[in-house]
Amino acid sequence: MSRSKSSQRWLKEHFSDPFVKKAQAEGMRSRAAYKLEELLERDRLLKPGMVVVDLGAAPGGWSQQVRRQMGDKGRVLALDILEMPPLAGVEFLHGDFRDEQVLATFEGMLGGQGVDLVLSDMAPNKSGVDAVDQPRMMYLAELALEFADNHLKPGGAFLIKLFHGAGFDDYVKQMRRRYDKVVIRKPEASRKRSPEVYALGQGKRAQIK
């Protein structure tokens, strides 16, 4: 079956992308690793010995980037409903974190440790219809926010991918009630035509305002 023109255009763009080439050359699992690299460095989010949780981690580019930057200090826990090949120094839990049993397993893995940083690069499978895709995206974002509410320790940070559209402004307001500082970032590796941005909350408050 021949590929559509849009499919051919995407493939051409993908394989000529400098971040795709960089990921292949450096052995990174995805070009998304470079979005996170910029965000981590710009806002100095990592410190030795931190406990970092990566929600929706597969294929592992973000976890790989965190592990690379932290060296052998601290912990990286990755969760996904999809399978993910093992990564050295990354503790992976396969399952849906909405499931009570999966959540109990995750909490057992923590062993009482507090979480310093929650990352979420989750996104739904796109249908191409904004009226369908945006509510799905915001649903995932709400789940991640609730996860951070329950597991991130006071003073911790939360970084999440969002799409501009319905519900975006209200979500950012929710973050501002929970964190001392909230900023919106668009890293260089994020394609300009993409509606994605990253919201970063720093300094989790002990109580929601």
On whether 133 is known to bind a ligand per the annotation, the reply is: no
Q: Establish whether 121 is an annotated binding residue.
A: yes
Rg (CA), the chain: 17
Question: Do the annotations mark residue 10 as ligand-binding?
Answer: no
String of DSSP letters for the chain: -PPPHHHHHHHHHHHH-HHHHHHHHHT-S-THHHHHHHHHHHTT---TT-EEEEET-TT-HHHHHHHHHHTTSSEEEEEESS-----TTEEEEES-TTSHHHHHHHHHHHTTPPEEEEEE---PPP-S-HHHHHHHHHHHHHHHHHHHHHHEEEEEEEEEEEESSTTHHHHHHHHHHHEEEEEEE--TTS-TT--EEEEEEEEE-SS--
> Is 96 annotated as a binding-site member?
yes
Nearest to 79 by CA among 43, 44, 55: 55
161 as an active site residue: the answer is yes
Task: Consult the annotation and say whether 80 binds a ligand.
Answer: yes
Question: Which amino acid is located at 11 in the chain?
Answer: L
Pick the catalytic residue: 5, 21, 73, 161? 161
User: Which residue ranges make up the annotated binding site for S-adenosyl-L-methionine?
Assistant: 60, 62, 80, 96, 121
Provide the annotated active-site residues: 161
User: Which residue ranges make up the annotated binding site?
Assistant: 60, 62, 80, 96, 121
